[in-house]
A and B are shown apart, each in its own frame.
Chain A
Amino acid sequence: MALLEIKNLHARVGDKEILKGLSLTIEPGTVHAIMGPNGSGKSTLSNVIAGHPAYEVTAGEICFKGKNLLDMRTDERANEGVFLGFQYPVEIPGVSYAAFLKQALISKKKYFGEKPLDPVQFIKRLKVRAQALGISDDMLKRPVNVGFSGGEKKRLETLQMGFLEPDFCILDEMDSGLDIDALRVVGQGVSIMREPHRSFLLITHYQRLLDYIVPDVIHIMVDGRIVDTGDKSLALKLEEKGYADYK
């Protein structure tokens, strides 16, 4: 069974249709990349999968592990294993990063009826994971995403993903704003998470991220649809020729 199956998805914001019949199948254990011009609907697709209330699905279906994803609330989707690494992580003043992560784990355990989180274990695990991504203890005490640099925000998104252990990770421009070293750190942070049951959907504009996380499949998205699908050589071709052939 496919991990994620999207069929003929149409979605809009207000009166504006953004996804115009998109289909995509992702098998467990695979890495897919989506590339496409600005405004083609890549972030919209991620938001629709995660359940953002501003986007209305007008036709089509999304099946996740055989269940109808569109019937689930955003928090249910997350607990079922969908993770969205945001292109623009949201700032939450007054809520510390550590408290936020802790609540996310508490919620997950509650969802599965598991016994509550051990706070000492939690802090230990958090520190180890954070260190591997070059995130200091001080950063974890600060409010969620407030005042962090672009690169720091992306590292922190990667940290959350590692912690929540989702089955399906959408990484929306995880590489934007990263310097070369940070790109390697984040790339490795993602690579070590590859598992036979876990799949990735990488949204990116550049080949460079795909050097660290080599995709099995690359899709080209233009104007709300997938217009081409191929192997990793497609990214190299794009790097050379741009999107001219698809317009």
Chain B
Amino acid sequence: MRITNKTLMPAESVHEDVVDASGSYVIEVPEGARYEGVFLLKGETLKIAVHLTGKNAGCVLKIAYLSSTDLKNDIVCDVYHDAPETYSSQIVKGVLAENGTVDYHGVIHIPFNSQKCEGSQNHHAVLLSDEAKVTCVPELEIYADDVKCAHGSAIGALDEMQLFYLQSRGIDLKEAQKMLIHGFLSDLLPGSFEPQIADWMVKHA
């Protein structure tokens, strides 16, 4: 398993896109710095721990997963708001076909002294099959009282009205599903991930 340790410089801004993101990442974000990571998983294990160690440090984790026959995605995200006035957001989106599974465990840690932090977690899964399985465990370990935190999770099939609309324009069901999956992931993943998604969809969607 790949192990990556990264420490940003104060006020540094880092963006990285990681395909086949399997591995363990420990990222330290000091004062005024910002880390944004975009990860794509296809049946892998991703462990991320982010430490926000100075004022105005922040991170955005965008994680997309694709799951299909006997593929399990394990995602563990721990964000430690070790300093006051830090911010974080975790956006996790995935598509599950066949008997694919995902396990997403996201934790926002805000200790007693870290006032005025903001943290959010959002998870959205699209199921293409009844056999797919999603486990989503959001956890808020919050001891400071003046913070803003939010989490949400939505799990469901592709939208029937959207499928109907596309089909009513002559697009067949398979193609319509592909368009909707692309649309679903497009706000998370930049164009460079396109071949990976296309490849998966040929096989599973």
Contact = CB atoms under 8 A, between A and B. Distances in A.
Interface of A: 50-54, 73-75, 77-79, 83-84, 86, 89-95, 99-100, 103-104, 107-108, 111, 143-144, 160, 164
B169 interface: yes
Given A75-B172, A75-B173, A107-B175, A94 B184 contact: yes
B186 interface: yes
Given A92-B162, A94-B186, A94-B187, A50 B168 contact: yes
A82 B187 CA distance: 33
Contact of A78 (B167, B179, B182, B186): B167
B147 interface: no
A22 B170 CA distance: 26
Given A73-B173, A93-B187, 18 more contacts: A50-B168, A52-B164, A54-B160, A73-B167, A74-B164, A75-B170, A75-B171, A75-B173, A79-B170, A86-B168, A92-B165, A92-B180, A94-B186, A104-B169, A104-B171, A107-B169, A143-B183, A160-B169
Most chain-A Cβ atoms within 10 A of its Cβ — which of B160, B165, B176?
A: B165
A164 B170 contact: yes
Interface of B: 160-162, 164-173, 175-176, 179-180, 182-187
Contacts of A77: 168
Contacts of A103: 166, 171, 175, 179
Nearest to B184: A94
Contacts of A53: 160, 164
B124 to A, nearest CB: 11
Contacts of B182: 94-95
Contacts of A89: 165
Contacts of A50: 164, 168
A107 B170 contact: yes
A73 B174 CA distance: 13
A92 B177 CA distance: 12
10 contacts: A73-B172, A73-B173, A78-B169, A83-B168, A84-B168, A93-B184, A95-B186, A100-B166, A104-B171, A107-B171
B162 A90 contact: yes
Contacts of A104: 169-171
Contact of A74 (B167, B184, B186): B167
Contacts of A52: 164
Contacts of B184: 93-94
A152 to B, nearest CB: 16
Contacts of A51: 167-168
A160 B185 CA distance: 25
Contacts of A83: 168
B182 to A, nearest CB: 7
Contact of A94 (B160, B170, B176, B183): B183
